[in-house]
A and B are shown apart, each in its own frame.
Chain A
Amino acid sequence: MSRSSLSKQPKKVTDISVPSEQLAHVDPQDMFPLPPPYDKVKEQPGFKALSAETRKTVAASLDDTVCVGLPQPKSKEEEERLITAFLSGLRKLFTRENNWTFLEPLVLSMEHCARCQTCVDDCPVYEASGKNEIYRPTYRSEILRRLYFKYIKPGNSLFNKFQNGDIELNWTLLSRLLELSYRCTLCRRCAQSCPIGVDNGLITREIRKLFSSEMGITEKNLHEKGTIQQLRVGSSTGMNSLAVKDNVEFIDEDMTERTGIPIESKWDVEGAEVLLLHNAGEFIAWPDNPGCFALLLDAAGITWTMSSEIAGYDGVNYGLFYDDVQLARIAAKHFEIAKKLKVKKIVMGECGHESKALGVISDRVFQGIPRETAMSLIADIVFSGKIKFDPSRNNFPVTLHDPCNLVRAMGVVEPQRRVLRYLAPKFREMHPHGVRNYCCGGGSGFAIMSQYNFMDWRLQISGRKKFKQILDAFADEDPSAETKKYVCAPCSNCKGQIRDLFDYYGAKQKSGLHYGGLVELVVNAMVDVKEGFLNFEEM
């Protein structure tokens, strides 16, 4: 079947249960146009079609892509077994024992939505897709809601149908709902606009949890290569403690050479003021970031350490995106390590979801060690008067990407801006920004997912709004690559997505777009650091 002959979108909510080759399809022409020179559809990277083999072997009937890749059941019995397991998970999702962690927000969101659709236009995925029905924040919620009223909520079934509609639970629905729960970045922008307080982002997360905690069905980068690997070898990157120490030694040497300031990172120092917990992706993909932290903390006279214990050098907690048990296991390790080292506080590096998982979500469960975000500490150091800065070293256009987990989920909005307003003379905001920001499109773990053709989806659809925002922020500058432009993204996950966006669209070559963290800009402006630390040619 050719792409153009595919059904564009479902007409009814119940269409999700009706078997077809594909429930929805997005043409590049459906997506809103990007500003020049990215406005010509034909010149854009194409959307790779799934192979016939993929379509045959894994559940791929939702849309143009596959994220989880659940194997097709081999028999009717296997289908039935999966449906039974799903129903069992659905029941547990609404029990105090198994889901006390989010029971109240979930039940209230299930039972009180007015279906006013006020939230839908606030979703960047829905907007970028040309408003395809399946990407409405309310679509997957409505399916879970109908299942809830049909199978879980006590009461007269006719009355429940009258109130909430009906839906047929079958393999088609189950496999599509699983994939659909991985078409939302959990940015919760929709929840912010709901007048009733319904949270479609949470509902999406709870669907992922049901599949993971009851059926063991997860996205492998989050689970096998993510939390499982982190708890087994120490990091979701696969690095054990020897490897990370080796990397950091190299980073120290490189930073010493480039800045002219001797740097020696600290490991397992008992009684330090700060346990610095980076997203371990930084050590591999953006080594300047941990290097700059080491330099800045030393310069500010703060005693600090990193931990070489399992999970102690990786602040990543992908459990946040799909599974409470894994979330709690990793958070528990982080607290245990901090207690063992007798540090005064944990400082969470430039990583949004780490900050939210450790700073807010775990707050009611694990106690005894205070946590703060790197944004607050960096701002405090910059304005402490201990370090001399020359802001003219950052005299290039800079804009700030707000990681959803830092702003919308934690209210950490101003510290990073205060720093940029002081140290980046050509700083300008994106619009909208702060708590009304748009997700980078890599949220909820998408930034580490590129299997099948999922990368095309996350760069063309979920990241489209952010890419447009970035281009718009620099609209008053020379559009050519001659003028180097810096997107400050103080979050590893967001940086991963922005890196991929820029590579995908050739934005570095076409528009001079570069990206990095906050601490790099701070170090670049330090008078004691050799000039030219930030080198756009090498970024």
Chain B
Amino acid sequence: MTVFHLLIYLSVLIFLTAVAARIVRIVRMPVHLRWELYPVPHEKSRSAYGGSILEEVNWWTKEREVDRIGEAKAMVSEIFFLKGIWEHNRGLWFGSWSLHFGLYLLIGELGLLALSGFLGAVGMQPEILALVTPIVTILAWIGCALGLIGSLIMYLKRLTDPKLKPFNNASHYFNLLLLGAINVTGLIWVAADPEYAGKLVDFFAGLFSLNALPVLTTIGYTHVGIVLFFFIYFPFTHMTHAFVKYFTYHDIRWNDSPNVQGGKMGIEIDKLEHQPVTWAAPHVRADGKKTWVDIVGDTGEEKKS
């Protein structure tokens, strides 16, 4: 095992820990009041026009039909085709789609490499290599090309579009440069090195087996170095919307779950309502000890004499 091994393990560890920490933080957030936004795609037969079960008279006596396939369709069109941007910000769509789709292909490449590397580490390398090599190469070519086009377009948009410009921070430019650097080095590497895929499979096998890593070209080391930096950097940026989007959609926008009596949600809400309130405005009438229940019950209503 070399220092290079350690650097890679450390980067991946930081990435996984920070991503997990963010997810755990979100999952542990208290249940909130209902705040869904229609259309909700799991509303069977109604989602096409944005309707809900609340349209029914005595809706609570009707069976709630949940359409998971409709929900999955909405997710696929949003994740892979960026439907929201297509519908509401067409001028930004191609650059954004190209950038995102390129990244998906590179994530696919990474997953395939990890799998083949692992299988290689346990002795299946020759058979796997023959299958994986062309796929990895194609994914790298298309992924990096799309990613590069996307990051360039997005960078130019950020630089010139008066709609975007006033709201850009330094990180917006930096992030696009970083993604562009990953893509451009990846593209040069795969173009210049005929053994690109083979070396990478060996590289991952070495990572899993703690054996020596193959020697890479200069551009290969540069690419790996930038990718490792991205691993460390990503979890601390707004780019985490990549996975947090699951929560903004499922926990909030599409979350129409009622609080069923005797259910888990009810127990949690009961605990939340018994927390002390410290809001300081006079009308709240909080003293740091009174709970939500106490405060809501104290309406300041005029008592009849």
Residues of A within 8 A of B (CB): 10-13, 85, 88-89, 92, 96-98, 100-105, 107-109, 111-122, 133, 138, 142, 155, 159, 162-165, 188, 191-199, 202, 212-216, 223, 228, 231-233, 310, 325-326, 328-329, 332-333, 345, 359-365, 367-368, 370, 372-373, 375-377, 379-380, 407-415, 434-436
**Known contacts A114-B238, A411-B43, A412-B55; is A232 also within 8 Å of B277 by CB?**
no
Whether B193 is near chain A, meaning CB under 8 Å from some CB there, is no
Cα-based distance from A361 to B259 in the complex (angstroms): 11
Question: Which residues of the other chain, B, contact A310 by a CB distance below 8 angstroms?
Answer: 301-302
How far does the Cβ of A472 sit from chain B's closest Cβ, in whole Å? 21
Q: Given contact pairs A100-B272, A104-B26, A117-B89, enumerate 15 new A-B contacts (beta carbons under 8 Å).
A: A96-B30, A97-B275, A103-B32, A104-B252, A115-B172, A138-B167, A195-B78, A197-B245, A233-B302, A364-B258, A365-B33, A376-B57, A380-B57, A414-B46, A435-B39
Nearest 9 CB-CB pairs, A to B?
A197-B248, A411-B52, A195-B84, A435-B50, A216-B281, A118-B89, A380-B57, A411-B38, A193-B88
Complex: A213 Cα to B253 Cα, angstroms: 25
In this complex, the member of B30, B36, B240, B283 whose beta carbon has the largest number of chain A beta carbons within 10 angstroms is B283
Known contacts A410-B52, A435-B49: A100-B34 contact under CB 8 Å? no
A19 to B240, CA, bound (A): 36
Q: Is the CB of A196 within 8 A of B280?
A: no
CA separation between A56 and B213, bound complex, in Å? 73
Query: Hey, which chain A residues are within 8 Å of B53, CB to CB?
Result: 411
Task: Say whether, besides A105-B252, A213-B279, A325-B279, A228 and B300 are in contact (CB < 8 Å).
Answer: yes
Q: Which of B215-259 contact A (CB under 8 A)?
A: 236-238, 240-241, 244-245, 247-249, 251-253, 258-259
Q: B52 — which chain A residues lie within 8 A by C-beta?
A: 410-412
Q: Are B299 and A231 in contact (CB under 8 A)?
A: yes
Specify which chain B residues have a CB less than 8 angstroms from the CB of A368 in the assembled complex. Answer: 261
Contacts of A97 in B (CB 8 A): 275-278
Residues of chain B within 8 A (CB-CB) of A112 are: 238, 240-241, 244-245, 248
A-contacting residues, B69-114, CB 8 Å: 78, 82-85, 87-89, 92, 96
B32 touches A102 (CB 8 A): yes
List of B residues within 8 angstroms of A12 by Cβ: 166
Interface centre among A333, A365, A408, by most B CB within 10 Å? Answer: A365
Q: Which residues of B contact A435 (CB under 8 A)?
A: 38-39, 49-50
Tell me if A379 and B169 are in contact (CB < 8 A).
no
B17 at the interface (CB under 8 A from A): no
In Å, the complex CA distance between A104 and B27 comes to 9
- Known: A325-B295, A435-B49. Is A192-B279 also a contact (CB below 8 A)? no
Check B35–A102 contact: CB distance below 8 A.
yes
Q: Is there contact, CB below 8 Å, between B280 and A88? A: yes
Contact between A100 and B275, CB atoms less than 8 A apart: yes
- State which of B50, B85, B237 has its C-beta within 8 Å of the C-beta of A116: B85
Is the pair B275, A410 in contact by a Cβ cutoff of 8 Å? no
Residues of A within 8 A of B171 (CB): 162-164
The reply to whether A413 and B51 contact each other, CB–CB distance below 8 Å, is yes
Q: Mark B287-305, 1 if CB is under 8 A from A, else 0.
A: 0000010011101111000
CB-CB nearest in chain A for B56:
A376
Residue of A98, A116, A231, A333 contacting most chain B CB atoms (<10 Å): A116
Does B54 sit within 8 A of A, measured CB to CB? yes
A407 CA to B36 CA in the complex, in Å?
A: 11
Contact B32 A325 (CB under 8 A): no
A282 vs chain B, min Cβ distance (A):
21
Given contacts A101-B33, A105-B32, contact A377 B236 (CB under 8 A): no
> Complex: how many Å from CA A502 to CA B174?
51
CB of B9 within 8 A of chain A?
no
* Interfacial residues, chain B to chain A (CB-CB below 8 A): 26, 29-40, 43, 46, 49-60, 78, 82-85, 87-89, 92, 96, 163-164, 166-172, 174, 236-238, 240-241, 244-245, 247-249, 251-253, 258-259, 261, 265-266, 269, 272-273, 275-284, 292, 295-297, 299-302
Contacts of A120 in B (CB 8 A): 163
Chain B residue numbers with a CB within 8 Å of A365 are 33, 259, 269, 273
A122 touches B88 (CB 8 A): yes
Give A147 to B290 CA distance when docked, in angstroms.
Answer: 29
Can you spell out 29 A-B residue pairs with CB atoms less than 8 angstroms apart?
A: A11-B166, A96-B275, A100-B272, A100-B275, A102-B32, A102-B33, A105-B35, A108-B26, A112-B245, A115-B164, A115-B169, A118-B88, A193-B87, A193-B88, A195-B83, A197-B248, A325-B279, A326-B283, A332-B297, A364-B34, A367-B266, A372-B57, A375-B55, A376-B54, A409-B37, A411-B53, A413-B51, A414-B46, A435-B38
Provide the residues of chain A in CB contact with B279, threshold 8 Å: 89, 92, 98, 213-214, 325
Q: List residues of chain A with CB within 8 A of the CB of B297.
A: 332
Chain B hits for A13, CB < 8 A: 166-167
CB pair B258 A328 closer than 8 Å: no
B-side contacts of A111, CB under 8 Å: 238, 240, 244
CA A332 to CA B273, docked complex, whole Å: 13
Docked CA distance A375–B49 (Å): 16
Nearest-CB residue, chain B, relative to A191: B37
CB distance from A487 to the nearest CB of B (A): 21
- Contacts A103-B29, A104-B30, A108-B248; A377 near B57 (Cβ below 8 A): yes
Quick one: given A202-B35, A363-B258, A409-B38, are A116 and B265 in contact (CB under 8 Å)? no
B303 to chain A, nearest CB (A): 10
Contacts of A119 in B (CB 8 A): 88
| Assembled-state Cα–Cα distance A96/B30 (Å) | 7
List chain B residues, Cβ under 8 A from A89: 279-280
Known: A142-B167, A411-B46. A104 touches B265 (CB 8 A): no
In the complex, what residues of A have CB within 8 A of residue B272's CB? 96, 100
Partner among A85, A109, A380, A414 whose Cβ is within 8 Å of the Cβ of B51: A414
Contacts of A214 in B (CB 8 A): 279-281
A344 closest partner in B (C-beta): B58
Q: Which residues of A contact B238 (CB under 8 A)?
A: 111-114, 163
**A410 and B54 contact, Cβ closer than 8 Å, known pairs A232-B302, A364-B258, A434-B49:** yes
- Nearest Cβ on chain A to B52's Cβ, whole angstroms: 3
> Contacts of B300 on A, CB cut-off 8 Å?
228, 231-232
Question: Judging by beta carbons under 8 Å apart, are A100 and B299 in contact?
Answer: no
List of B residues within 8 angstroms of A380 by Cβ = 57
* List of A residues within 8 angstroms of B85 by Cβ: 116, 118, 195
Question: Bound complex: CA of A455 vs CA of B299, how far in Å?
Answer: 31
Residues from chain A with Cβ under 8 Å of B269 in the complex: 364-365
Contacts of B245 in A (CB 8 A): 112, 196-197
B72 to chain A, nearest CB (A): 17
B265 & A364 in contact (Cβ 8 Å cutoff): yes
How far is the CB of A264 from the nearest CB of chain B, in Å?
Answer: 25
B57 contacts which chain A residues (CB < 8 A)? 372, 376-377, 379-380
